[in-house]
Structure 1
Amino acid sequence: MTFMLLLVVGLSSLLLFIGTLVMKGFVLNIFGASFSSYECGFMTMMNFKNFYTLQFFIIGLSFMLFDLEILLFLPFIYSESGNSSSIYWALFFLFFVSYLLVYELSMNVMSHW
């Protein structure tokens, strides 16, 4: 019983130590070879640090926000209570989301489509 406890504590502390080393950057980077020069001595011609453009992030955030707003709107659709105030709030929310979409389109956020 004590052997298992010592084994679990030892492995946990070892994993914690390795995790802190990785977080501090003492372990070699997996993609370190792509940032160094080639074997022949020439430097790389492309910068691999910027994988995505700003437009990609804007589109991703827009889709994520509108999907979350749709998820917030779904309980109003499936609610069985015919409470008129909840219907008004749902309509207000739907018009607000529509207004935000029109505002984004008018500000040319998605102009590269």
Structure 2
Amino acid sequence: MTTLVIVALGISLSLVFLNRIFSPTRPSLEKVSPFECGFSSFHQTRNPFNIYYYLIGLLFLVFDLEILLIYPFALSTTSYGFYIFNLFLFFLTIGFIYEYGKGVLKFKNDQQ
């Protein structure tokens, strides 16, 4: 297994290195300029987005990982697994109530 990883890494790095050496580099204004439907843009093309989308994404990721941690205890048939599952679920619920109380889950429409 170790040999396979070393060989794969060696081949990958050598191909990247050979590409850097032998590829032609001719930078020009057309290559580095943004292309938008065949003409230059008249205004800023990037729109600001609401930061709450990022917060909701982070909260989803955290709760999704917590559910992933709960899964083995949910499948456990012992009483110890049941108690650990309930304790973890209790802390998960407390965290959710805290976030709701802080107003993190309330979506605001203003741009920041």
TM-score (structure 1 length as normaliser) = 0.59
Moved over 4 A (4+): 26-29
Matched residues in 2 for 1:91 and 1:47: separation?
Answer: 49
- Residue number among 69, 72, 76 corresponding to 1:75 in the alignment: 72
1:101 is matched with 96
Seen in structure 2, the aligned counterparts of structure 1 residues 14 and 79 have a Cα distance that, compared at 3 Å, is same
Please show how residues 32-111 of structure 1 align to structure 2 within 5 Å.
32-33=34-35, 38=40, 43-44=42-43, 46-48=44-46, 50=48, 52-80=49-77, 82=78, 84-111=79-106
Aligned length: 88
- For structure 1, which runs of at least 5 residues remain unmatched after alignment? 1-7, 19-25
Seen in structure 2, the aligned counterparts of structure 1 residues 85 and 53 have a Cα distance that, compared at 3 Å, is same
Q: Shift of residue 49 of structure 1?
A: 6.4
- Identity of aligned pairs, percent? 30
Q: Shift of residue 85 of structure 1?
A: 3.0
Q: Which amino acid aligns with 2:62?
A: L
Q: Shift of residue 32 of structure 1?
A: 2.4
- For structure 2, which runs of at least 5 residues remain unmatched after alignment? 1-10, 22-26
Output the aligned Cα RMSD: 3.3
